[in-house]
Each structure stands twice: as C-alpha cells, then as structure tokens.
Amino acid sequence: MKFDTPAGKNPIDQLKVVGKPLNRIDGPLKTTGHAPYAYERHDAIANPAYGYVVTAGIAKGRVSGMELDAARRSPGVLAIVTADTAGPLQKSERNAAALLGGPEISHYHQALALVVAETFEQARAAAGLVKVRYATGKGAYDLAAAKKAGTNFQKTDPDARVGDFERAYGNAPVTLDATYHTPDQSHAMMEPHATLAAWEGDTLTVWTSNQMIDWGKGDLAKTLGMPKENVRLISPYIGGGFGGKLFVRSDVLLAALGARAAKRPVKVALSRPQIANNTTHRPATLQRIRLGATAEGTLTAIGHESWSGNLPGGSPEEAVQQTKLLYAGANRLAGLRLANLDLPEGNAMRAPGETPGLMALEIAMDEMAEKLKLDPIEFRIRNDTQVDPANPERPFSQRQLVQCLRDGAQRFGWDKRNAQPGQQRDGRWLVGLGVAAGFRNNLVMKSGARVRLDATGQVTVETDMTDIGTGSYTIIGQTAAEMLGVPIEKVTVKLGDSSFPASAGSGGQWGANSSTAGVFAACTKLREAVAAKLGFDPATADFAGGQVSEGGKTVALGKAAADGELVAEDSIEFAELEEKFQQSTFAAHFVEVGVDVATGESRIRRMLAVCAAGRILNPKTARSQVIGAMTMGVGAALSEELAVDTRLGFFVNHDLAGYEVPVHADIPHQEVVFLDETDPVSSPMKAKGVGELGLCGVSAAVANAIYNATGTRVREYPITLDKLLRGLPELG
C-alpha cells in the first residue's frame, strides 16, 4: 500500500479499540516470568554450551601475541575462537569497528576471542587464562582537548545556513554566546546484550536481543559472508534497548562463530563493563549557541554548532537538528564538527541528536529570555513558527507547541513562579520551577505484516516488529481488532521473527506508527479477501462484533475462512508527503526541583509533560513511554556520565554501581497530558511517535528549575552538587 496522499476517513477512526487504555497483552507473561528472553530460550535449545568474551585491555594498538594453550587445557573447554580462526569476516556498514578485533585494536574492550565451554563458570575461568600481549599505540580520548587543538576536527557536512547569520548576530541589540557540555552516556538497559546461536547445516538461527530484526539479519549474513536467506533472527521479547540494540553487536557474531566451532548451540551474554565499552553509547558534545534578538524578543539570529567525537567511520551526534526547525529566525547557522576519537563507538541512544541538542538549546533560550526580561514561556511563544524556517513554503503538518506550553503553564501553576532566582524556600530546600520545549521529528519507515483469519474468527498477526517494553504487542493487536471488527481477545500477535514480513522495527520513534500502519495495510487486504469470499463490497461492508454486514445481510467473520484459512500480506510505503510537509512532534516539559541550601543536593519534586504527537493509539502504554523517558531525562540532568579515562581511553564507571541512573526514590509525581490531535499526513493511523519526545527537553527543564531555585547557572551536565555549592547563599 502506497501512502502518498493524506489519510481520509477509515476504519481506525471508529476508535472502538484503538485509542483505548488497554493493558499490555504481554504483561502477564513478563510479570510471571514466562516471557522468554534471549539468554533463557530453554524452550528452543536444550543443553547449550557457554561462551565468554575476551576483550582488549588497551584502547589503541595491536595484538602482538595471544597465548591460548592454558585455556584450551582448562576443564570443559570446547573451542576458542579468535580472528585467526574465525575465517574471513566482513564489517557491516552499521558497525564503525570490527566486532571481532585482531590484530588491530580499535577501542578498549573490543572483542578479541571467545572461549566456549560446557558451563558458564568453566568458560569464564578459561577466558581468564588467555594471555594477550599488546603493542600499544597512541590514541585520542579527550573531546575537549581535540576541540582545543582543532586539528583533529572535520566538518561532516557543509554548515546549514539561512540568510546572513554573522551580520544579523553582529547587529542584534541583545545577544547570547554560550557553550554547553553533555557527557558520554550509557543506554544502561536491564537486559544485557545476549544471544543463543545454533547451526543446522549451513543455516544459522540466532535468538538474540535486537530492536531491528531485518537489519540484524542482513548485517549478520554480510559479516559471515553467507546468504541472507540462510539466517533466521528471533527476538520476541527485549528487556530494554534505547537504541543500543539497533545493530548487531559482538555477542551475536561470537555466538554464531562459537556454535560453528564447537559444533553445538552456544549462548553468549556481555558483562556490564563490556556493555559500556564494547557496545555503543551516546557520544559527548560541546555545543556553542549564539542567539541574537530584538529588544522586544524576536529572534533574528540563531547559531548552533556542535563538536563530538567517534571512531573513524563513525557519525557525529547530530545535536543541531532540532535547532533548524524549532524556532523562527530569519538568519541561521547550524554546523556539526566530528573528531576521530579512539573511544568505544558512539551511536544512537534514545532520541539521538535532539536529546543532547535540547539539553543545550533550551538552557540558552532561558538565558536569552532572562536577558530580555521576558517570561521564558512567552519568549518561546513569540518565536513560534508554523513553517520550516529554511523553506517557508513547507508547512508543519501539525504544530501545537504553543498549546503545549500554555496548557502546561496553567496545569503546573507557572503563574506562581518567582522570576527572581533563589527566592523561594521550603524549609532547608531552595525551590525552583523550570520549563523547556520538547521536539522530535516524526520519522516513518516501510513496514509489513501478514494477517491470518481462521474459521473460528481468530485473527493472527505476524510481523518482525519488536517489543522493547513499549507495548508493540498491544497496539498491533488493537489495530487488527479495529480493522476486522473483533475484540482484542480474538487477536494473536506474533513478533520478532525474521521469518515474518519485515517491519519498521523499534527505533527512532518510528516503530508504533509505522508498524501499525503496516498492519493496517495487511488488514485492508484481508478485508477485501473476506468481502470477496462473502459476496460483499469491501468499500461498504461493515466489520463489527465479529461479523460482516452489508445491505441487511450479516455473516460471521469466520465463515469467510470456512474452506480454509485466509491470509493477506502487505506493507505500507511512505512517499512524497514527507517532502511536502514537515512532520514533527512537540512537548512542553515542566519540572519543580528542590536544592538543599547546605549541601547542594538536587531533588525532583514534580514533573509534567504536555505532548502533541498525533493520535495516541493507547494512552496507557503511551504514558508509560513518556514517564520512562522523563525519568531518563532526570538521570541525564543530575547523575548520568560515562567518566572517560583520558590517558587509557576507557569508561571507568562501567557498571550500574558507578553509572548512576534514577531509582524510584528519585522520581516523585509525574503527570502526562496528550493534546487531542490527529495527523492525516503522517499515516493511515494518523498517529506519530511519542517514546522519544518524552525525553527531549526534560534535562534542560531540570537545569532551568535548578537555576530558578539557586541563581547558579550550570552549563555542564550532569548538574552535580559540586557545581552548585559555590553559588548557594550563605547560611545564616
């Protein structure tokens, strides 16, 4: 199905099942421990062997020798895989470094070997006997030093320019020029990267934790140099990913190589330190923002430049992309600078680009509002735009940012905020309110599904879409139920298997909207098949209550499959509308904080997100997405930072004890409001994504609230108490 004109009225608009706050249909399996995760596929494979990964102890250089004899003689060892024994391997374009290193080493904890043994303990003990000798090279590990030197940076693309930024900035009566720093961050998902692999002849099956099934299947096949059709990838349940599992990592490749070498199924899980250093992370940024405005508060110049680092062949953190679209301004500059750093690979983490970009931009907007003596909400509203600032003939399909801000201000009690920082006290706590705009582009991807109908009226949906804790099972079931007029109990949803039609996958906030649109397309085709079987006109037949009706005649839906199961398969393909309309999602984030007047400890007191993100397919699962994202935003603001050893090139705090994420006690009341919105330009579902929007802007709202509480402006995340202590008022 081609989606090239805005959606008209369709069966989804009935909203009998779609749009209802239904419980997740996978919830009982997960809460009772019956949902099988990758490392636990006892139902699929009996008596697997265990692999333990040996990783590089240096960040840059070469392997000059590897002693394996002691490990081979260790009890229970079945095989040892290294780059020398693995056979020819290719590198997928989605991996900046080889997943199995040697002799060249690209980064700390790069995989160098896999030891396979009868038990996990035996594999781990034998891996400890592997002795690796290194020829250490000189690496670059310090983003700030690279920026200061300047010689290691390159422009990834020409700067995006509109008008004459330098002239407009120079002539502006009110200006801001500030630099902000966001640190390296870890995905810190609950389920580690884990894989179980088994060969049957030249056919490989992997049960793994992966967000993008079709990408993973293709990349694994390419790396191993085998036909894609000979690889099957299965991932029905994923215990968190946040972008860290978009791409195949070393656990998948090494499990496959280990199973081939040991001639039996092998399971591999990465340890926490390996997850931090061996897999991907959100790269640090240094961002310079320059704003120029009239005395009345109209932005005339917007400049945003971002510096980040990555391995050779890696991409920059695109922290300027929201600045191109969020506010009006006739003269604009946006530019990315990339340094070659020998740290572990930087790549997508929840809302890549916009998350760190808004951490800086939305502080800058508050700083500029203060210079102008304007309320920060009013300043944002004055600079709203309904069109792409770089292309005024291209309007936003929907844009309710102003409504988000106004509705949120009323709900949060913004009128009670004291604009003078450091004035509100609650006992030992300095209290402050902060706001930030949220923005995330609405991305869509081709997505397919297969739908089956049997004689009992049972509907089965098959698609390789994944559920990373987001509720994919439920919204896909709701879509099929709405389209075919059956209760959701009559729908079975099967996900995460590469033998099913390729879907959009889970990533980039495109998963829910795109995958349900793919199910819509397949169900449309099944409706046509059902109508043809029953002698109805598919354009006028009514599907409701498990029956199909037209012209006074009503027939049970299952009767269409009386002679055998009906099967329909289709994909949604998006075209043209993306070019004609700017599609984005918007939010306003409000935070109240308390800062201890003696210690500088910051505490969240309450939070509100008001979101405009198209039709909300399930308010309960969407709210869950947003409050989880808000929690991540608190972590980014107050505690999360991968500390870099700039001498040796690794992340020091590479476990969940040293890398501090928020816990329940850190997060009090959270409120989420969804504005009434449908966007027919987005998809037949008239929906958009919301899971990443809930994060975008949150950290800046926290930072702005801390400034309002204390009068101390911190431009370097995380905002730890040592950065506040000097600015706190004297204790009387």
Name the DSSP letter for residue 726. G
- Identify whether residues 617 and 659 lie together within a single domain: yes
Q: What is the mean pLDDT of residues 164-193?
A: 98
Burial degree of 69 (CB within 10 A; 0-12, 13-18, 19+): exposed
The predicted-structure confidence for 632-664, as pLDDT tens digits, reads as follows 999 999 999 999 999 999 999 999 999 999 999
The chain-wide mean pLDDT, for the chain, equals 97
Domain stops at, among 535, 554, 577: 577
Out of 530, 547, 577, pick the residue that ends a domain: 577
Please pick, among 191, 305, 482, 692, the residue that the annotation labels catalytic.
Answer: 692
417 lies in a domain?
yes
Give CA–CA dist 568/526, Å, rounded: 5
Can you give the residue range of the structural domain that contains 393?
353-442+583-727
Average pLDDT of the segment spanning 436-441: 98
Classified as helix, coil or strand, 61 is: strand
Cβ 83 vs Cβ 54: under 8 Å? no
Q: Where are the beta strands (DSSP E) in 171-226?
A: 174-182, 194-200, 203-208
pLDDT at res. 729: 85
Does 455 share its domain with 399? no
Longest dimension (CA), the chain: 86
Query: pLDDT exceeding 90 applies to what percent of the chain?
Result: 98
Residues 505 and 623 in one domain: no
Give the pLDDT band of residue 170 (cuts 50, 70, 90): very high
Report strand pairing: 194-200 vs 266-269.
antiparallel
Do 719 and 599 sit in the same domain of this protein?
yes
Q: Give the predicted TM-score (pTM) of the model.
A: 0.98
Whether the upstream peptide bond of residue 103 has omega within 30° of 0, thus cis, is: yes
To the nearest 10 degrees (0 to 180), the angle between helices 472-484 and 511-534 is 30
Do the Cβ atoms of 709 and 454 come closer than 8 Å? Answer: no
> Residue 673 in contact with residue 610, Cβ under 8 Å?
yes
Per-residue model confidence as pLDDT tens digits over 661-685 = 999 999 999 999 999 999 999 999 9
Q: Are residues 594 and 715 in the same domain?
A: yes
For residue 65, being part of any structural domain is answered with: no
pLDDT of residue 578: 84
Residue 449 shares a structural domain with residue 425: no
CATH number at residue 601: 3.30.365.10
Task: Report in angstroms the alpha-carbon separations of 301 from 304, 323, 443.
Answer: 10, 12, 28
Query: In this predicted model, what pLDDT tens digit does every residue of 104-123 receive, in sequence order?
Result: 999 999 999 999 999 999 99
Q: Give the residues across from 303 on adjacent strands.
A: 290, 333
In a domain, residue 542? The reply is yes
Q: 468 and 369 in one domain?
A: no
* Structural domain contains residue 89: no
Domain assignment present for 648: yes
Tens digits of per-residue pLDDT, 251-287?
A: 999 999 999 999 999 999 999 999 999 999 999 999 9
Residues 527 and 623 in one domain: no
Q: What is the mean pLDDT of residues 503-522?
A: 98
Domain count, the chain: 2
Q: Are residues 403 and 424 in the same domain?
A: yes
In a domain, 636, yes or no: yes
- 692 counts as catalytic: yes
Residue 467 lies in a domain: yes
Q: Looking at the structure, do residues 591 and 723 belong to the same domain, yes or no?
A: yes
CA 168 to chain centre: 36
Statement: residue 732 has pLDDT above 80: no
Are 538 and 412 part of one and the same domain?
no
Terminal CA-to-CA distance of the chain, rounded, Å? 71
Residue that terminates a domain, selected from 577, 595, 614: 577
Smallest Cα–Cα separation from 333: which of 289, 366, 395, 369?
289
> What pLDDT is recorded for position 199?
98
Q: Does residue 19 sit within a domain?
A: yes
Pair (424, 468) in one structural domain: no
Query: What are the tens digits of pLDDT across the range 335-392?
Result: 999 999 999 999 999 999 999 999 999 999 999 999 999 999 999 999 999 999 999 9
